[in-house]
Structure 1
Amino acid sequence: MATKLLLITFAICRLIVTVGLTVDPTELLRLVVDGQLSVDPSDVDTASKDFGLMSRAEPLAVLHPGSAQDVARLVRAAYSSAHGFTVSARGHGHSINGQAQTNNGVVIEMSGGGSSGRVMSRLRSGSGRVSEKDVLRSTLEYGLAPKSWTDYLYLSVGGTLSNAGISGQAFNHGPQISSVDELDVVTGRGELLTCSEEKNSELFHAVLGGLGQFGIITRARIALEPAPQRVRWIRVLYSNFSAFTKDQEFLISLHGQPSTHKFDYVEGFVIVDEGLINNWRSSFFSPSNPVKITSINSQGEIEGLLKKLDFVPTSVFTTDLPYVDFLDRVHKAEMKLRSKGLWDVPHPWLNLFVPNQGFLTSTRGCSRVFWAIRQAGPSSFTP
């Protein structure tokens, strides 16, 4: 089947334009925009916080853009301002250390609002400020979905592309940035440019996975493929961490094999001193190796693959569920935390690229990992 393409607009997580003296808010309010430039205390307070409630920086104003041109206008104003001020684009506040915020500058609020658009022929066209969940909901109306997802869908598309977009499907399709065909980007000078492999390619490759350092993405065209309707989720338990990582590496080594000889999704979780597999963390971070199966229909083929793995015998847990429910499993655990009031306290979320050889396979490395898990809660291992 021909590859489908997704066209959608969004913002990346950070852009520092220029640093200098703070600017008077009344000067900012003279900027003509299609959306709204707000100094309302509630808007400022929301933009002051990050996702994990670990960092706080109060901006002078918040831009709710009505168009990509609004983003370009603000950046041009900052670039040409005699005083100079900082600009940060904020999706849902996920950043390494508060980079989606800016003290005494302007935050571009890219979460909420906007339309996720429609599919026309091979293109999916949409407006700005959409989340991964918005994309999923609208593409499934046409039986399509992007090739690769993050595990948490309540992120801006631009935020995930600025950080590559890693998940348990990356070994099959590459990270999310591997499926991007074209971008519109607002540069540090306030230029709105279209870029791709063929046009402005240096900017194209710099922005993808560039942590927001090279511009603000306002549109992207992303490849789609036919979406499965249901998922078979298999979880198996390990008592030996070396066997666990060895099996993960074996499963991802099958990426070049026919679809009937591999799993579509491989991800591992480690929980120390936990109780039943169905406790509050099970739908978020299960002590298992969940595997999403969409193309393997024969039970014999599944058993053949499982026989090659070194998990604890008789510890196979299998669940059949809708595709959307599997992709949204992390959010369900978030709802459990919210119901206990645990989402309104600081909850850092740290992603690291860690080499397996010489660290996770060593006794000292494993001890450090397990100590961190015991202190900080559930942890995910994506091979």
Structure 2
Amino acid sequence: MIAYLEQQHFVHDTDHPSLPSLTLDGTIDYRSTVIKDFGGLHSTSPFAVIRPSSTHDISTVIHFASQSPTLTVTARGNGHSINGQSISTNNHGLLIDMKSLNLTVNDVVLSNNNNITVDLNGGALWEDVLKRCLMSYGFAPRSWTDYLGLTVGGTLSNGGVSGQTFRYGPQTSNVTELEVVTGNGETVVCSGEENSELFFAVLGGLGQFGIITRARVVVQPAPDMVRWIRVVYSEFDEFTHDAEWLITRPEGESFDYVEGFVFVNSDDPVNGWPSVVLDADQLPDPSVMTRSDNPVMYCLEVALHYSKENCSSTVDTRAKRLLERLRFMKDTLFKVDLSYIDFLLRVKEAEKQAKANGIWDAPHPWLNLFVSKSSISDFNHFVFKKILKDGIGGPMLVYPILRSRWDERTSVVLPDGDIFYIVALLRFTNPYQKTPCVRDLVAQNHEIVQVCVRNGLNFKLYLPHYNTKEGWKQHFGDRWPRFVEMKLRYDPLAILAPGQKIFTRNNIGE
């Protein structure tokens, strides 16, 4: 189907002549449709939604937008942003639905540095990538996010972190080549060796320099099974000591996955002890909940991969050897065995339940930060134990990451130190229960950030959101001039990713 759109619909200024039409092999929907992202805090009605059938369509759309003084282009994956980053800012926006590019997993490639890779469309969902790679090759990407209903291009534009990051780095460290359509409308293949400047700028670049249409991602043989384990700590310093010890152990001498979270020391089914158990038959002894007077407790979550050929006693031995070195409350060990694919899709099951009770479609004022090891104890004191001591209606993730696993040539900004922590405050609001209003939750997020600033904590926002140029300058720090330079080179009219609110059309400046 050939789609056709007249650009003169956009031109309200009589000083500008009518512009040529846009013809695509994909489709164009210019009906007035209100679009929200996952955060549910912002909405907009773009002038048109573009569903491209090829990279050429995307290039054509950007060239088309460049002929107007006002048009912008937003690449939208699964719309999982929180603060409107994946929606157009006004009715002058063209929104590209990247999921319309059908998933293809090309033949496995052995690259020059002996990495095994597969080529993926930028609009492919990671959950579909997982299933296709396992079914076709028995391989899987080695670095994931916790939730896989996200697009390849979307996570590579931000970072992509999970419990495997301590070993393999974020998803941005596990891609060897990209195909990118820049803000100039040019289609460029880039890698660490070819067009490397664009390659590293786009990775973690928040969509500012180009739209990722293809990614060559590192994969490895996938395990069959996972031993999933959770243990509980009453003291934060013991929790962080053990987590940091695990992530600094050599491969083969630690778990394959390390995360952690904070929970309320109560029987609250959402925020308390019931959120720790992995099986309904594993409810803790009630006496455990009264053993500590701390308002919050800490759960270390780990996992071991194994094949079906490994007998259970071998896995038991590996797990026991590692757990014996840890200082958790010894009668708080919860475990379950499940398939590798079920483990990686564990949040998908939670999504089904949340959709059934209406929570998934309610607003999600999430806050994600990277906090330096030097500041994480203070964060626990000021935030977890005080501001959030009653919970947030969802997970409060906190776990360490090694800086050495990140390629600092990318656009991602990290806090100081060899070890830093991901803190993810994943709030869920329940439309059917009396809970704080969204405005109050957003205000609490601002309060948390301000507490970090006032107390001199070393941190950076992950999936950052600022409403002012000054905020973005402070976020990037001494890397801001380089970020602006890349914008001027690859998207000089500031056509791309207006929802990030970093640059405005035709006015990049410094």
TM-score range, shorter chain: 0.7 to 0.9
**Measured at CA, do residues 184 and 113 of structure 1 come closer, stay the same or move farther in structure 2, by a change above 3 Å?**
closer
Contact 1:359 1:365 in 2 (8 A): no
Partner residue of 1:268 out of 246, 260, 269: 260
Contact 2:52 2:100 in 1 (8 A): no
The Cα of 1:263 is off from its aligned counterpart by 0.7
Partner residue of 1:136 out of 130, 134, 146: 130
**Measured at CA, do residues 112 and 188 of structure 1 come closer, stay the same or move farther in structure 2, by a change above 3 Å?**
closer
The Cα of 1:117 is off from its aligned counterpart by 2.9
Partner residue of 1:375 out of 392, 412, 417: 392
Q: Cα deviation per residue 1:340-371 (whole Å; 9 max; x = unaligned)?
A: 11122212333211223234356334424633
Question: Which amino acid in the other structure matches residue 59 of structure 2?
Answer: A
Question: Which amino acid in the other structure matches residue 129 of structure 1?
Answer: G
Contact 2:351 2:360 in 1 (8 A): yes
Q: Cα deviation per residue 1:259-295 (whole Å; 9 max; x = unaligned)?
A: 1x111100001121344688478569x9632212015
Question: Which amino acid in the other structure matches residue 210 of structure 1?
Answer: G
Q: Which runs of 5+ in 2 are unaligned?
A: 1-8, 13-17, 111-116, 280-296, 401-510
Q: Cα deviation per residue 1:35-94 (whole Å; 9 max; x = unaligned)?
A: 1111134xx33xx2111211112210000010011111111111232x331111111112
1:283-362 matched pairs, under 5 angstroms? 288-294=299-305, 297-361=314-378
Farther-moved stretch of structure 1 (111-120 vs 324-333)? 111-120
Contact 1:232 1:318 in 2 (8 A): yes
1:92 equivalent to 2:78? Answer yes
The Cα of 1:121 is off from its aligned counterpart by 5.1
1:31 equivalent to 2:22? Answer yes
1:148 equivalent to 2:124? Answer no
Question: Which amino acid in the other structure matches residue 164 of structure 2?
Answer: Q
Aligned length: 351
Contact 2:226 2:338 in 1 (8 A): yes
Indicate the SS of the match to 2:118.
strand
Contact 2:159 2:171 in 1 (8 A): yes
Give the RMSD, CA atoms, in angstroms: 2.6
Distance between the aligned counterparts of 1:99 and 1:76, measured in 2? 22
Question: Which amino acid in the other structure matches residue 364 of structure 1?
Answer: F
Contact 1:152 1:330 in 2 (8 A): yes
**Measured at CA, do residues 23 and 128 of structure 1 come closer, stay the same or move farther in structure 2, by a change above 3 Å?**
farther
* Equivalent residue, structure 2, for 1:75: 62
Max Rg structure? 2
* Equivalent residue, structure 2, for 1:109: 97
Question: Which amino acid in the other structure matches residue 370 of structure 1?
Answer: L
TM-score, structure 1 as length reference:
0.84
Question: Which amino acid in the other structure matches residue 140 of structure 1?
Answer: L
Distance between the aligned counterparts of 2:45 and 2:373, measured in 1? 40
1:38-49 matched pairs, under 5 angstroms? 38-41=29-32, 44-45=33-34, 48-49=35-36
* Equivalent residue, structure 1, for 2:410: none
Question: Which amino acid in the other structure matches residue 136 of structure 1?
Answer: L
Distance between the aligned counterparts of 2:120 and 2:79, measured in 1? 22
**Measured at CA, do residues 365 and 355 of structure 1 come closer, stay the same or move farther in structure 2, by a change above 3 Å?**
farther
Question: Which amino acid in the other structure matches residue 349 of structure 2?
Answer: K
**Measured at CA, do residues 300 and 325 of structure 1 come closer, stay the same or move farther in structure 2, by a change above 3 Å?**
same
Distance between the aligned counterparts of 1:375 and 1:275, measured in 2? 11
Question: Which amino acid in the other structure matches residue 221 of structure 1?
Answer: R
